[in-house]
Amino acid sequence: MTCGECGSSYAKSGRTRFGCQGASKKGPAFCGNRLTIRQDDLDARILSGLANEMVRDEVLAVFLEEYAKETARLEASATDSQPQRDLELMEIDRQIALAKAAILKGVDASMFIAEMRAWAERRGTLLAEAERAFKLPTPTNLLHADLGNTYRQKVGRLTDAFEDDALRSQAFERVRSLIDTVVLKPENGGLAIYLRGEFASMLELCVCLETQKASAGIPSEVLQIKMVAGTGFEPVTFRL
């Protein structure tokens, strides 16, 4: 969390309140933002914003349109590069076969150590690229029309988990994964909160079967989402 006036961190200022550390430690000459906020108020506003503002229908519609375009671009790129990838794989396999034949004829195997390592590494990279291209998701089989409601239900479960001491820490970590930055800025005598969220992480939340298991194994759908949505999409920013 940062101050919208000076950019300093917004951190604990007393037992239950948060304040600008620039104003607190460096004085009004550095930052005039002396406003503080109670932790329970801050938590409630952020959780409410995540649930009700972050995935509004109009924002989701724009994202799904861009998601479809990016998926199509990746599919075209994967198709275009497949022949070149296949040729390179064939050449690597040929080189490996020649090296093995030479070793069988008595050539010192140590002469091929560096080459064999490089060929094996490159071969693994090419095979991984081919596998990712084969598993590339499409909007119809990965994202669905009711995504916004699914997201809001999951955030609602996280909000409930905050009330459970046994789940609080896991819920906190999951909420943190949805947030890029929180900016607190004085406006009209009060503190406005600007929340910047990471859309790829929101979609990850939607496909995870159990929101409490934030550290569990990552489903393949999540990796697919990150491949498509993890780059090229601006985080969502809104005012609470």
Write down the domain spans for the chain: 1-34, 75-142
**226 compared with 127, residue with greater pLDDT:** 127
Residues 229/203, Cβ–Cβ less than 8 Å: yes
pLDDT score of 170: 82
Neighbours of 189 (CB within 10 A): 6
Per-range mean pLDDT, top range of 62-76, 135-149, 168-182: 168-182
pLDDT score of 84: 84
Mean pLDDT of 125-143: 65
Q: What is the radius of gyration, based on Cα positions, of the chain? A: 25
pLDDT score of 95: 92
Comparing 16-25, 61-70, 215-224, the range with the smallest average pLDDT is 215-224
The model's pLDDT over 38-59, given as tens digits with 9 standing for 90+, comes to: 998 998 888 888 877 766 777 7
**184 compared with 175, residue with greater pLDDT:** 184
Q: Is pLDDT at 212 greater than 60 in this prediction?
A: no
pLDDT score of 217: 46
**107 compared with 209, residue with greater pLDDT:** 107
| pTM as predicted | 0.56
Q: Is pLDDT at 149 greater than 50 in this prediction?
A: yes
Mean pLDDT of 71-82: 70
Comparing 64-73, 91-100, 151-160, the range with the smallest average pLDDT is 64-73
Q: Is pLDDT at 201 greater than 80 in this prediction?
A: no
